[in-house]
Amino acid sequence: MNFGRFIQCFGMVALLAGPIACTTVPETGRSQLNLISPSMERGMGRDAFTNLKASTSLSSDQNATAVLQRVGSRIAAVADLPKAQWEFVLFDNSQANAFCLPGGKVGVYAGILQITQTEAGLATVLAHEVAHAVAHHGAERISRVLVVQGIGLLAISQFTKMDATSKNALIVAYGLGTTLGTELPHSRLQESEADRIGLIYMARAGYDPAEAVKFWERFAEYNRAQGGSRTPWFLRTHPLDEQRIEDLKRLLPEAQLQYRPRGKEDPPTTRPTAPTLPKQISKTVTLIVPQTGARKVIPWKSGITIYTARRKAGIRPAGPPQLTRAGKLRPAKPATTLKAGDVVHWK
Ligand SMILES: [Zn+2]
């Protein structure tokens, strides 16, 4: 935790005279004020989603629903949200819209599919929404409302016993008490953070993160065609401008490092038997050349370290090494011992 951030977070919590309650956002490492427990977050998201599904028409388009499930499950598989109860639902609504409720409930309006167009386009939207959930942006928003309203930690932990005013403050913060599509906007910082994490997640799930830029460009075009007064809700709460697209382009190299293209078909559920695929073939490590971004694959050997692998691959030293193992980015040092399948890159 950065000391400055610690003080900032501590200062807000001190207002409540309660224990320090900060969490760290995965991937970005930002420290955030968070007074809401993950289980309470999941409960609120689940209840609200149940209500939405009961009061809003679901899409009858089985193909589009199947695509949503497929892309959604691939994004969810790489999302760092313990005990998440992921659910992806296609609503029958012509608006270009999508949202995520805390704990992993993602809603997509059918109208957005004309702009997502491809699975990678849809992955852009889903990864962005999933990132909001992983980063606990809803809980962060609600925590700020609680601090402003001076609602105590004890009251938060006893949501069911809260008085109506306090409960309402929580509900408004989540945007749960209103009809779908009127959720409060995320802050600019949360939007940028969801864009960054979303790019990384779509790359890890096997979608080319460069497609995110194309999606947002299509969305900008759609926005222009719609005209200002009829700007869809999704655009009002997800401010779209040249800056966002520029930011995404700047973040692309970070995400590209984690991009492993994947075929449309899911991998076979049974692994090839040993005789058809000798073990040696899969025992490699991959190093990303810092200067060019090229991939160098070298054989893995027991005890091989990042340092010896770099020497063997003929890669010149660069910044601190980073390691992607089993789809997750991990801290590393030159002396870190590698496992087969590891991917090494340098900051
Ligand atoms: Zn967003």
Which range marks the domain in which residue 325 is found?
279-346
Position with higher pLDDT, 115 vs 150:
115
Does residue 267 sit within a domain? no
Q: How far, in Å, CA of 212 to CA of 165, rounded?
A: 41
Last residue of a domain, one of 224, 256, 288: 256
Q: How far is the CA of 49 from the centre of ligand 1 (A)?
A: 18
Does residue 266 sit within a domain? no
205 and 332, same structural domain?
no
**Is pLDDT above 70 for 285?**
yes
185 and 44, same structural domain?
yes
Q: Catalytic: 129?
A: yes
Q: How far is the CA of 194 from the centre of ligand 1 (A)?
A: 6
Within 8 A by CB and 6+ apart from 161, the residues are: 155
305 and 215, same structural domain?
no
* Number of structural domains found in the chain: 2
Say which CATH number the domain at 341 has: 3.10.20.90
Convert the pLDDT of each residue in 118-164 to its tens digit: 999 999 999 999 999 999 988 888 777 666 666 555 455 555 555 55
User: How crowded is the C-beta side of 33, counted as CA atoms within 13 Å?
Assistant: 21
Q: How far is the CA of 6 from the centre of ligand 1 (A)?
A: 25
CB atoms within 10 A of CB 331: 9
230 and 146, same structural domain?
yes
Does residue 314 sit within a domain? yes
295 and 197, same structural domain?
no
Position with higher pLDDT, 274 vs 237:
237
328 and 234, same structural domain?
no
Q: Which of 129, 183, 191, 211 is catalytic?
A: 129
Q: How far, in Å, CA of 259 to CA of 147, rounded?
A: 40
Average pLDDT across the chain, whole number: 77
At residue 238 the predicted structure's pLDDT band, cuts being 50, 70 and 90, is: low
Q: How far is the CA of 196 from the centre of ligand 1 (A)?
A: 11
Q: How far is the CA of 26 from the centre of ligand 1 (A)?
A: 16
For residue 212, the SS3 value is helix
Q: How far is the CA of 305 from the centre of ligand 1 (A)?
A: 40
Convert the pLDDT of each residue in 40-73 to its tens digit: 888 888 888 888 898 889 999 999 999 999 999 9
Q: Which two tokens stand for residue 201?
A: 């997640």
116 and 155, same structural domain?
yes
235 and 103, same structural domain?
yes
Q: How far is CA 128 from CA 20, 24, 202, 226, 323, in A?
A: 29, 18, 9, 23, 23
- What pLDDT score was predicted for residue 209? 97
For residue 199, the SS3 value is helix
